[in-house]
Amino acid sequence: MTLIFGVFLLILLVIVALAIVRSEDLFAAVMLSGIFSLLMAVNFFLLDAADVALTEAAVGAGVATVLFLGALALTGKEEARHTVSPGGRWLALGVSFATASLLFYASLENPHIGDGSAPVHQHVAPWYLANTLPLIDIPNVVTAVLGSFRGFDTLGEVFVVFTAGIGVMSILGVRHSLVELSGAELDARQRSLRHHLIPRIVGRGMVPLIMLFALYVQFHGEYSPGGGFQAGAIAAAAIILYSLLEGDDRGRELLPEWLLRLMVAGGALLYGGVGLACVLLGGNFLDYSVLATVPSAGQHLGLLLIELGVGITVTGVLISVFHAFARRASR
């Protein structure tokens, strides 16, 4: 039954993808792209990749959709018509067919789903599964791996997000190529989005629910799929959606620029500070066992703090980048 449902989802993915390509209504294309991401999330869930599914739903259907809506507010509703030569169409079709054929051929060499002898299960994975409960005492092995066993890798990812946010905001801050829109100009450009009645009504009701779900994902990641990256993306999607519905000025009032900058830097510093605290208490960097008398309790506290740092940084970076794009226009 799972196989049949998986094939059905793949057929739906193809249909939605074709609809996105063929649609000339940009708003419909954005909505279809969100549906595509949700279908991908369901597909990942069927493959027992719950954390990946949650990330896809948060980033693909959440953040990406609201960013597309923000871009749509600054453009026309319909796609600009342009003429494509028959040769160009056949070339694009040939490249797409060749790529799809190559991916299909490569997939034939993949191990079967649930195969215990697959290469991924022959190295450190058995050790993680055997030692997560005795050493960290949490049921979510993914959180244990990302936050504790491979805490250095996750710290690097946080600083990559931090650096990317600084880079984007620095580029958008170049005054000679870009100018900042006034509140009235931005309001006029966003008016087309706000006049979509259904998104506005549904969005107003969804914003608090999205924020509540973000808090659940943030603080329940030790026991279920979730964590700082997913929670940060979900929270950012809620704030960006609020800004699109109520105006960029209202969004900036909710989270001022000084607070966003503090979040961008503070979350990364919180993560690194937890590691330094471990060293000062006589342990290794990011060895949370020394944070409490009982090692497992120290692991819980360390994971809670570093995941909070990840969520704060991701939220701050995504919202800051959105505001930077929303306020800019070419000369």
Does the pLDDT value for residue 320 go beyond 90?
Answer: no
Q: Provide the domain limits for residue 48.
A: 1-76
Reported as a pLDDT band with limits 50, 70 and 90, residue 307 is very high
Q: What is the mean pLDDT of the chain?
A: 82
301 occurs within a structural domain? yes
Residue 23 lies in a domain: yes
Tell me the per-residue pLDDT of 107-145, one tens digit each, with 9 for 90 and over. Answer: 888 887 777 778 877 888 888 888 888 888 888 888 889
Q: Residue 330 above 50 pLDDT?
A: no
Asked whether residue 282 is assigned to any structural domain, the reply reads yes
Q: Is residue 125 part of a domain?
A: no
Where a domain ends, among 76, 96, 120?
A: 76
Model confidence pLDDT, tens digit, residues 216-266: 989 888 888 888 888 888 898 888 888 878 777 788 888 888 899 899 999
- Specify the pLDDT at position 61: 79
Instruction: Please write the tens of the pLDDT for every residue from 173-232.
Output: 544 444 455 555 555 555 545 666 677 777 788 888 989 999 998 988 888 888 888 888
CA Rg value for the chain? 23
CA 172 – CA 145 distance, rounded (Å): 36
326 domain residue, yes or no: yes
Residue 306 pLDDT more than 90? yes
The count of structural domains within the chain is: 2
Q: Same domain for 172 and 277?
A: yes
